[in-house]
Amino acid sequence: MKPVTKAILPVAGLGTRFLPATKAIPKEMLPIIDKPLLQYAVEEALEIGIKEIIFITSHAKKAIKRHFLQNTDLEDSLVKNGKEDFIESINPKRFKDIKFTFVDQDEQKGLGHAISLAEPFLDKDDEAVAILLPDDLFIANGKSCLQTLYDLYKETSNSVIAINEVAENKLSNYGVIDASKISRSTFQIHGIIEKPKLKDAPSNMAVCGRYILSRSIFKSLNNIEPGAGGELQLTDAIKDLLVSEKVIASSYKGQKFDCGSKQGFVEATIFLALANKDINKDILKSIQELIN
Ligand code: UTP
């Protein structure tokens, strides 16, 4: 089996839930403490040995490209001002041999459409790709979410997607699976539905934004019609894939924040602030003062 070396990160969405902040700044560039949200997902991808990150972006999001390309002017200024220590933070060693590819999605026709635009950038012999939705921020206590999926992919050669249990009143925001148990944390998927009404939800297990998908997903993406919200949905392509291939779900037990929502974004900020040794004592004190 060929290692998975390419990861697709769709970041062309409009980020309407964060307007007006996202009028000029891409949602994915909003910082959680001192790092753009998007960088957390990039780092998670690199941990499994990804060599090329394919961003599906839009012409309005130039800041994303600027963030991942080298900025020699800034580096020179840092050196001149005796602030070399910051160079690693703007040009990390782990990015050195990574190819960053930027593909414009001209019209926001949905996540499925965004992913389909990456196909021409795959090598002929790529058997599978990783997909990470940067809105979903995972803080691993041990193995990362994507690494867990990749280990299962290497073991089974099947497509693997991450799921977690979601409260009933939130199920209609997600793709929801119909599945049977394989082990304590893995399931075989039999069906999948995007943003179901509560009465149609086949379970309380919702897809969260990490996937290792077989290359056949691109064929399935060609087979689908606009679905929920009038958009081309990745979930519908996975449903199509299920006709010919096995897809496994892996439930993720670590911390997960939906940073596409205001609540999740603030919770992630608080969680990471309390985990940061430089600031956590003062932050905790401030929070305690605020609630008392
Ligand atoms: P969302 O619908 O959650 O993100 O799409 P959004 O559109 O940016 O946010 P709101 O709802 O307007 O606030 C999930 C992921 O799919 C990407 C988004 O960038 C996000 O990473 N996406 C969605 C695209 O790249 N293209 C699309 O056409 C739609």
157: left (phi over 0), alpha (psi -120 to 50) or beta: left
Q: 109 CB less than 6 Å from ligand 1?
A: yes
Q: 175 CB less than 6 Å from ligand 1?
A: no
Q: What is the pLDDT of residue 95?
A: 87
Q: 41 CB less than 6 Å from ligand 1?
A: no
Question: Could you tell me whether strands 175-181 and 31-32 are parallel, antiparallel, or unpaired per DSSP bridges?
Answer: unpaired
Q: What is the pLDDT of residue 81?
A: 86
Residue 117, number of CB atoms within 10 A of its CB: 19
The answer to whether 159 and 273 are in contact (CB under 8 A) is: no
Instruction: Give residue-wise pLDDT tens across range 70-87.
Output: 888 888 888 888 888 888
**Token duo for residue 43:** 């780092």
Q: What is the pLDDT of residue 282?
A: 95
Half-sphere exposure of 268 (CA within 13 A, CB side): 28
Q: What is the pLDDT of residue 220?
A: 98
- pLDDT, one tens digit for every residue, the chain (292 residues): 899 999 999 999 999 999 999 999 999 999 999 999 999 999 999 999 999 999 999 988 989 999 998 888 888 888 888 888 888 888 888 888 999 999 999 999 999 999 999 999 999 999 999 999 999 999 988 899 999 999 999 999 999 999 999 999 999 999 999 999 999 999 999 999 999 999 999 999 999 999 999 999 999 999 999 999 999 999 999 999 999 999 999 998 889 999 999 999 999 999 999 999 999 999 999 999 999 8
* Closest alpha carbon to 60 in 112, 16, 105: 105
- 11 alpha carbon – ligand 1 mean position (Å): 7
DSSP bridge pairs for 8: 54, 131
Q: 17 CB less than 6 Å from ligand 1?
A: yes
Structural domains in the chain plus CATH codes: 6-260 (3.90.550.10), 261-292 (no CATH)
**Best of 111, 221, 233, 257 to mutate for ligand 1, by most ligand atoms within 8 A of CB?**
111
Beta strands per DSSP E along 3-83: 6-10, 31-32, 35-36, 52-57
pTM score of the predicted model = 0.95
Distant-in-sequence, close-in-space partners of 258: CB < 8 Å, separation ≥ 6 = 135, 136, 264
The answer to whether 99 and 5 are in contact (CB under 8 A) is: no
- 201 alpha carbon – ligand 1 mean position (Å): 22
Q: 13 CB less than 6 Å from ligand 1?
A: yes
Q: What is the pLDDT of residue 94?
A: 85
Q: Looking at ligand 1, which residue's alpha carbon is closest to its atom 25?
A: 12
